[in-house]
Structure 1
Amino acid sequence: MKRIHSSILCILCGLFLLCSCHEEIYDPEALGKDYFIQNIPSDFTWSTTSSVQTSVIPYDRYEGQYLYTIEIFDKNPLTDPSAVLYTTGWCTGKQPLQKTITVPAVQKTLYIRQTTPGGRKSIKEAEIKNNKLDCSFYPEKNTSSTPATTRAYADERIPENVPADANEIKEGPNNVTLEANKNYVIRETYTGKITFPGSGNSSLYITGTWINPNNMTVLNKGSDIYIMGTGKLLSSAASCTFKWNSAGGVMGIAPGGQLGTPEQNNIGLEFHNPGAVINEGNFYGDWIIAKAGGMLFVNKGKFYANGLTTSDVAFLFRNECYAHIKKFKLNNQSILTVSPDCSFVSEDFSMANSSVYLGNSAMLEIGTLTTANWGSPFIQGNGNDYALVRIDKMICPSRYAPLNFISNLYISCNQYPADPWTYNILFNCMLEDVSTGATIEIKPSECSQGNDYVPEQPEEPEFPKTVTYTQTYTFASEDNYPNPGDYDMNDIVLSLDSTSYYYPQKNGIDRVTLHFTLRAVGATRQLGAALQLDRLGKESVKSVSYSTELPLDNFYRNGNSTEQKQKQAVIPLFDNAHQILGYSNTTTIVNTIQGGATAKPVSFDVTIEFSSLIQEEDIQLDAINYFTIVGTRLPRTEIHLPRYKHTNLSVTPAKLQEVTQQYMWSIRVPGIFRYPQEWRKITDVYPQFEAWVKSSGKDNADWYIFPEEHLIYRN
């Protein structure tokens, strides 16, 4: 039992005696002085939840002919099996889903899952702003642009013709040494070695075939190789490397030209100073190594290589057709761009403080993507339509250097990092549920392999349908209302574990099942509980049924099992909490004293069937007015959540209800509330609680997940 302060007791007694007089006399300041928290803001509601208006538009490919299923979660259901479902609905692109839902006040973002008429699922993250959430699965207009780049050391264009003064290299018994500042050309087949000058400009043009027997060919400043439209550069060595020691070197392949073959890709490139690789033909190479910053790679043809790596220096790779590099290392401040309708493929792709930009319908396909533990790597869509990022496995080791996915990306990943804080899905990116198939189509072309999209077979959702929302809330009450007590908030602890809605059709529900668990009774008198449906009259209810026999004898019920003499629908839950937990003596404190009386929490379901279809909002959490009942007399003492009105059978006068609504005797907490031990005040057990109250709920909104562990009750 709770301590009753003499001052407030006298005032309350006076109020009850005078409540029938012409003027009601009550001093609200007296209650405030005896309350366990002082100076409570007048606008504070004691609510741990927020009401959010949601509007969701699916990516409708059927022009409103079929329904899409929309589900809203607290976390990403693709990567977190504990994700809580807040709501479900059905809509089209022409008629968006619009619902008002209740979520914990700490929830700042939500995850929305769209299921197409063919069963394909995708997820987007959206931010709650001013208690509103707007989410469209359509791509958004993009105002970002690919970073501009310039190269002062070489022109990225490949010469259209061989210079007229080029000296021809022909097959012969001797190797060839090039002179500085001269042009050379191989017009037929040449199988000998070529030595480039130590300094000065020299350019080699290949219109025939050079089969280089050397395993190392060194080029210096100004030395370029251009493989023209009919040219081929091959090697008879087991491994062949072209090494540039000075700046300005270019390896260029014109349309129709070819370096290596698919069967013999043994030619590697090594740059010790900035250079350029320009491919407009077919590149079949081994390893490319850049040991100096400022390298430029431009691919406008087919580009295949075993690897491209650098010594932690920046480079730009601009892919304007199809590139497949098995091991690709995008180092510090390096940039990869993939043009619209083009593809870049890599089995082993690593990023360190670097960036990737993808155009409309571009495709980035990766086996394993690994990020470093420093920097700010990101992959960004640059077009006004989705680009596809397809990853088998993502390895992101650091929360301090998360990988960011930004703007108009469709992300398909088989294995995400275990730690969700090591990557961020931002700004209109969509996640594919790989197990259900692709939602968007990337068509195959000369520059893209496509994403093997298989058209779906659309069907309407089947009704009737049962949907269960899995967010748990706990009601914890103090039983001395309207007197202050010890505020251990454990006199009755009842959790609403989940709620099941039954949809005979998409536009309404005909019944709801509330799944409860009674967890503790820290009171020494008889307590009951009930629900008032604030948005529904008693005639709206057809019947009430219970999954198990509950003590209800003190409720006078109508034929539909709602409580009599009530304007609103009042649903009895039980009239004796001790009895449910197996104790006939109501003076026994159960499950609140360590080492004291215990009982296994008891779960039960209450099903409410309605006389006609109602909207989900009429029976959602904020519309359920839970209250505790003290004793067995009528009229009775009711303990409601702050700001909720009493029923027609409450003994508390309207004036007292008005005065006490600023204070709290019952609270609703998200999740399974780890309630205080007996006689432990909530402000002592939860150190952030009082700061939450005095900030009017603006600070420490998650106070209930930070208890003093040794002061909470443990079963």
Structure 2
Amino acid sequence: MTIRSKKPNYLIVAILSLLVVTSCIKFPQPDPGVVSDIPESFDWKTVQSVNVNVQVNSINGISDNYIRVIKVYSSPMLKDGSLLSSGAAKPGTPFNVNLTLPTSLQSLYIQEILPDGSRTLTKTDITSKSISINTASGITKSSSNAAQNAAFTSPSVPVPANFDVIISNNNSVSVVGFTAGQSSAYGNQYKSYLIPAGVTRTANIDMGNYISHAILYVKGTLKMTGNMGLNKSTIVVLDGGNVEVGGLSCGVFEADLPVFYVEPSGSFYSSKLVNFSDGSDMVNKGTFTVNHNIDVNSSSTLYNEGDIIVSKRGYGLLVSNNSKLYNSGSIDVKKFEITVSASTVNDLGGIIKTETYYQSNGTVVNNHGEIIATTSFKTSGGGIINNFCNITASLTDLQGSVSNLYDGSLWETLTSKFNTCDINMYGGSIFLTGNISAVWDLSLASPSETYSLFKATDNVPDLRYAGSHISGRIEFVHTNLTEGSGTNGRQLYEGLFTDGLALLSKNQTKNILASTCNNAAGQIVAPPPAIVDNDADGVAEALDYDDNDASVAFVSYFPSESTWGTYAFEDTWSWKGDYDMNDLVLSFRITYFTNSLNKVTKMKFDHKILASGSGIQIASAFQLDNIASSSIASVSGQELAGTSPFSVTANGTELGVSKAVIPIFNNVRDVVTDDFGILLNTVDGIYFNTPSGSLTIQFTSPQETSNVSMDAFNFFIVPYKSDNVSRSKEIHLPTFLPTTKIDATLLTGDQLNYSDKYKYSDGMMWGIMIPEKFDYPKEYESIGNAYINFFRWATSGGVEFTDWYKDLDGYRDNSKIYNN
């Protein structure tokens, strides 16, 4: 039993499982709706290989022997997790890398960071398979100003040396406090219950206490399908503990204790709504993951010093009705809303990352860390934002709000809209925008004796009739400024600069000292470089990924630093199946660790099984096509039970293969240990929370990046029957070859394409890789029916609808896509 979004109907699962066994392993039902005019040359790739060559220039005052750091991003926001690759360059020694990019991606953003912190950003369009960029010098970074800290102290909970009740089985349990006249034999103030380490409980626990306060401590594992309703009770997840519930809510609460507490190595997961209310206190120092909203309301307080994750589209963290959020950890959600007199303190080191940020009336946000809004940052009907450090947004839309920008802070956005709002810029603060799309009643003011910087790098509308004013020591830099009254003409703006202090410039003249928060976005006078290099690899400490390890200076990612790719397979090769592409669905991210010579010393493969709708067993592995097995020093993190179908040598590579084959798991059930029957996450309304895994591959000697690029990353599955475990069958993506362990007789047959044995004779495939999270079809629904433009992409040879897999209007039939 495990977490589900609703209680499963096991009769339905059993019937579907029987159908799977009889239909997922042979052709032809149900009809996948395949068309016959797929071009012979079509390779089914959603990505392309692009070689990027970055030349850097000599700079006066900086030796050519100093390394420049190059970072390649897929977005100009830079802080939205879009980092693709990083490495070293010197004048005469360019940074050269082969990137695997989504075919739908149109542009790259190349950042150069000099040893003194100076950095430039260059945009380049992806117009060919080979791109050359020559950077120019730019602004400089120092650490003269630091972020202001707003430290907070979270409440604590008592952890007894001895517990009143030990829970070690699935027997019925109600967590209740001491009755009148009762007390703890161990002197505990509150009656304490413990699920100890090594115990897994899969039965619900009744927390609807009606007596005195009680506390449930979890050191082992608790998996509840139902909602955990906390009434006069507290849930504490101790270090190493794991709790999974089908929702969390609060009732009557009388003790002066947090209602919810997760220690640093503890984890809490809810598949449904989490609601904290009625003045509750919550503390998370571990990992708090929710597949729905986290609703903090009615004067409640959430303290986060760990990780809060809400990855489901359209859901996030909602703080309202006089509630408070204190964050010094990481919050990664799809939406972040603070409304109705609520407040937030984002402490030094705290990160709030969201797609959409929304703030309304009576609210106050004090940001001493980072806030990243990848889609929009909006205010409406009031609210105060005090920015002491860094805010980054795609769109900043301020309506009826007051924003105070303090010394050393940066607010950076691609597009801005201002309506009846005040922006107060204290000396040394920066607001950096691309274009300003709309302005009405903007008050831009500074009370300081030193200058701040407001900079627009794109178009700015006519401000003569916008009811706005600019005052105080603010340099308003408009890089597209022209003379006259035409578009971006000086006469459209100069009437606002009448106090003798505010400046209108085309080029920045006032230097803004770099800080730990502003990315040196306003520094135009470079201080002398002060270089610290602890591991003597030539990369400065501030720019080195690990300055205590000379083998690791930089990191690169596929698909990117914060996104995941997806492999999706049919298990019926070499015959067709239903093409629901959910017999194995696995999300992944690859991290490459490189040294100062831009060679790969190790790599990491993070993965998570999302679904397995197969009637047979599935194993998986990948072959590094250009790496010998003897070049692998070690592999850690494999989840292999037994030695079939994969058996490994001491270094973690598959036995009996000369190339480096890295097994991931021998059976989906080795990873997903819950009893999910046959179908895993392919039937609507039945959901199992699956664990994440991570493999780390250490090389015996540094490798060229091209040897481990995605072109040479050969992921495959091995399907087999439980009563006949065999390694003989492999299913790969088109264009990739099988390993030497395959039964070569399986590569014959007229039904297979003559030149690519992992395509059918009509051009269809059995496996596909998508460079982002993929919402896969539900059981028996063809991918071509679920995704409207799938076959238009295929029959065009991959030219049209390169983004067919995205959640865009008219792109998919949601009734045919799995919904948990």
TM-score, with length taken from structure 2 = 0.46
Shift of 1:565: 2.2
- Does 1:589 pair with 2:694? no
Q: Aligned in 2, Cα 1:550/1:86: closer, same or farther, shift over 3 Å?
A: farther
Residue 700 of structure 2: which of 611, 614, 617 is its match? 611
Could you say what secondary structure the match of 2:80 adopts?
Answer: coil
Question: How many Å separate the matches in 2 of 1:629 and 1:7?
Answer: 16
Please give the residue correspondences for 1:412-423 in structure 2 after superposition, counting only pairs within 5 Å: none
Question: How many Å separate the matches in 1 of 2:97 and 2:689?
Answer: 37
Opposite residue 490 of structure 1, the aligned amino acid is: N
Question: How many Å separate the matches in 2 of 1:556 and 1:411?
Answer: 66
Question: How many Å separate the matches in 1 of 2:511 and 2:779?
Answer: 49
Could you say what secondary structure the match of 1:557 adopts?
Answer: coil
Answer 1 or 2: higher relative contact order, Cα 8 Å, separation at least 6: 2
C-alpha deviations, 1:393-440, integer Å up to 9, x for none? 9xxxxxxxxxxx9xxx899999xxxxxxxxxxxxxxxxx998243698
Shift of 1:48: 0.2
Question: How many Å separate the matches in 2 of 1:379 and 1:664?
Answer: 57
C-alpha deviations, 1:551-585, integer Å up to 9, x for none? 66431222222112223111101111134222457
Q: Aligned in 2, Cα 1:594/1:371: closer, same or farther, shift over 3 Å?
A: farther
2:610 corresponding residue in structure 1: 519
Could you say what secondary structure the match of 1:684 adopts?
Answer: helix
Q: Aligned in 2, Cα 1:565/1:413: closer, same or farther, shift over 3 Å?
A: farther
CA RMSD of aligned residues (A): 4.1
Indicate the structure (1 or 2) with the bigger Cα radius of gyration: 1
Q: Aligned in 2, Cα 1:6/1:491: closer, same or farther, shift over 3 Å?
A: closer
Could you say what secondary structure the match of 2:805 adopts?
Answer: helix
Opposite residue 492 of structure 1, the aligned amino acid is: L
1:485 corresponding residue in structure 2: 577
Shift of 1:456: 3.1
- Does 1:472 pair with 2:564? yes
C-alpha deviations, 1:460-507, integer Å up to 9, x for none? 4143425252242100001111111111111110111x3233335434
C-alpha deviations, 1:213-268, integer Å up to 9, x for none? xxxxxxxxxxxxxxxxxxxxxxxxxxxxxxxxxxxxxxxxxxxxxxxxxxxxxxxx
Q: Aligned in 2, Cα 1:663/1:605: closer, same or farther, shift over 3 Å?
A: same
Shift of 1:612: 1.5
Could you say what secondary structure the match of 1:705 adopts?
Answer: coil
Could you say what secondary structure the match of 1:683 adopts?
Answer: helix
CA contact 1:551–1:579 (8 Å) conserved in 2: no
Shift of 1:7: 11
Q: Aligned in 2, Cα 1:635/1:60: closer, same or farther, shift over 3 Å?
A: same
Shift of 1:352: 4.1
CA contact 1:538–1:562 (8 Å) conserved in 2: yes
- Does 1:104 pair with 2:107? no
Opposite residue 533 of structure 1, the aligned amino acid is: L
- Does 1:64 pair with 2:64? yes
Opposite residue 818 of structure 2, the aligned amino acid is: Y
1:562 corresponding residue in structure 2: 653
Q: Aligned in 2, Cα 1:88/1:5: closer, same or farther, shift over 3 Å?
A: closer
CA contact 1:531–1:570 (8 Å) conserved in 2: yes
CA contact 1:3–1:484 (8 Å) conserved in 2: no
Question: How many Å separate the matches in 2 of 1:649 and 1:348?
Answer: 61
Question: How many Å separate the matches in 1 of 2:517 and 2:627?
Answer: 43
Could you say what secondary structure the match of 2:781 adopts?
Answer: coil
Q: Aligned in 2, Cα 1:379/1:516: closer, same or farther, shift over 3 Å?
A: farther
1:688 corresponding residue in structure 2: 789
Residue 667 of structure 1: which of 768, 771, 775 is its match? 768
Shift of 1:538: 1.5
Could you say what secondary structure the match of 1:435 adopts?
Answer: coil
1:124 corresponding residue in structure 2: 122
Q: Aligned in 2, Cα 1:514/1:6: closer, same or farther, shift over 3 Å?
A: closer
Shift of 1:121: 2.9
- Does 1:437 pair with 2:520? yes
Shift of 1:537: 1.6
2:735 corresponding residue in structure 1: 643
Question: How many Å separate the matches in 2 of 1:83 and 1:648?
Answer: 38
Shift of 1:101: 1.0
CA contact 1:548–1:605 (8 Å) conserved in 2: no
Question: How many Å separate the matches in 2 of 1:348 and 1:454?
Answer: 22
Shift of 1:547: 6.6
- Does 1:626 pair with 2:715? yes
CA contact 1:510–1:610 (8 Å) conserved in 2: yes
Aligned length: 423
- Does 1:74 pair with 2:74? yes
Opposite residue 678 of structure 1, the aligned amino acid is: E
Opposite residue 645 of structure 2, the aligned amino acid is: N
Question: How many Å separate the matches in 2 of 1:521 and 1:501?
Answer: 28
CA contact 1:3–1:486 (8 Å) conserved in 2: no
Question: How many Å separate the matches in 2 of 1:499 and 1:7?
Answer: 33
Could you say what secondary structure the match of 1:516 adopts?
Answer: strand
1:708 corresponding residue in structure 2: 813
Question: How many Å separate the matches in 2 of 1:477 and 1:106?
Answer: 22
Opposite residue 814 of structure 2, the aligned amino acid is: E
1:454 corresponding residue in structure 2: 527
Q: Aligned in 2, Cα 1:6/1:560: closer, same or farther, shift over 3 Å?
A: closer
Opposite residue 520 of structure 2, the aligned amino acid is: G
Q: Aligned in 2, Cα 1:566/1:67: closer, same or farther, shift over 3 Å?
A: same
Q: Aligned in 2, Cα 1:710/1:674: closer, same or farther, shift over 3 Å?
A: same
1:679 corresponding residue in structure 2: 780
Could you say what secondary structure the match of 2:660 adopts?
Answer: strand
C-alpha deviations, 1:290-324, integer Å up to 9, x for none? xxxxxxxxxxxxxxxxxxxxxxxxxxxxxxxxxxx
Question: How many Å separate the matches in 1 of 2:454 and 2:634?
Answer: 61
Q: Aligned in 2, Cα 1:412/1:551: closer, same or farther, shift over 3 Å?
A: farther
2:668 corresponding residue in structure 1: 577
CA contact 1:519–1:602 (8 Å) conserved in 2: no
C-alpha deviations, 1:135-180, integer Å up to 9, x for none? 111389xxxxxxxxxxxxxxxxxxxxxxxxxxxxxxxxxxxxxxxx
Shift of 1:512: 1.1
Question: How many Å separate the matches in 2 of 1:3 and 1:133?
Answer: 50
Q: Aligned in 2, Cα 1:116/1:411: closer, same or farther, shift over 3 Å?
A: farther
Question: How many Å separate the matches in 2 of 1:70 and 1:370?
Answer: 25
Question: How many Å separate the matches in 2 of 1:504 and 1:139?
Answer: 24
- Amino-acid identity (%): 24
Q: Aligned in 2, Cα 1:601/1:674: closer, same or farther, shift over 3 Å?
A: same
Opposite residue 793 of structure 2, the aligned amino acid is: W
Shift of 1:453: 4.0
C-alpha deviations, 1:485-538, integer Å up to 9, x for none? 111111110111x32333354342222111111111111211110101111122
2:357 corresponding residue in structure 1: none
2:586 corresponding residue in structure 1: 494
C-alpha deviations, 1:322-350, integer Å up to 9, x for none? xxxxxxxx9xxxxxxxxxxxxxx998999
CA contact 1:122–1:433 (8 Å) conserved in 2: no
Question: How many Å separate the matches in 1 of 2:511 and 2:781?
Answer: 48
Question: How many Å separate the matches in 2 of 1:129 and 1:696?
Answer: 18
CA contact 1:120–1:439 (8 Å) conserved in 2: no
C-alpha deviations, 1:104-158, integer Å up to 9, x for none? 1111110111111123333211111211222111389xxxxxxxxxxxxxxxxxx
1:429 corresponding residue in structure 2: none
TM-score, with length taken from structure 1 = 0.53
Q: Aligned in 2, Cα 1:482/1:74: closer, same or farther, shift over 3 Å?
A: same
- Does 1:602 pair with 2:713? no
Opposite residue 739 of structure 2, the aligned amino acid is: T
